[in-house]
Amino acid sequence: MAASDVKLLGSWPSPFVMRARIALNLKSVEYEFLEEKFGSKSNLLLKSNPVYKKIPVLLHHDRPICESLIIVQYVDETWTSGPSILPSDPYDCAIERFWAAYVDDKFFPSLVGIAKAEGEEKKAEAIEQTKEMVVLLENAFKECSKGGEFFGESESGSLTLRLGALWGG
């Protein structure tokens, strides 16, 4: 597939954009990366994602797909070459989605909370809370990895992809 058929609107430091990029690269999909400037929104972005007006947006044959987790699922289902990103077993997939939602809704905001904490006491509290979340995620990883290197059955694992994107892939 030509890169012009697949475009990704985003900004390189965004972990949500990084997820989409990792998924596309895992599937060896050629794509054009359209950099969005921080602090402004292009007309293409506003047209492609008129509801949330945010990145990332995947354009496949000029049809927009928004939200990083939806993009990852779309990439996994559309391009069957390369490793699977999501587990094939419905239960394993549900468990992975649960933990992925935890990463997005709790863990990532906790990391941001450390940076935003004012004063040493608040920062120490935020760090302690994040440490507890890391332990929880480690235990979930051990239980769900089934002895493998990744979360779940797939070679890469979408949760592994989501966590990896937080640290730049």
Mean pLDDT split into 10-residue runs, the chain, 169 residues: 83 89 94 94 97 97 95 94 85 85 88 93 94 90 71 52 51
Cα–Cα distance for residue pair 128/52, rounded to 1 Å: 32
Cα–Cα distance for residue pair 15/106, rounded to 1 Å: 15
CB 9 within 8 A of CB 44: yes
Question: Which class for 48: exposed (0-12), middle (13-18), buried (19 or more C-beta within 10 A)?
Answer: buried
What residue ranges define each of the domains in the chain, with the CATH number in brackets? 3-78 (3.40.30.10), 90-166 (1.20.1050.10)
Q: Has this prediction a pTM greater than 0.85?
A: no
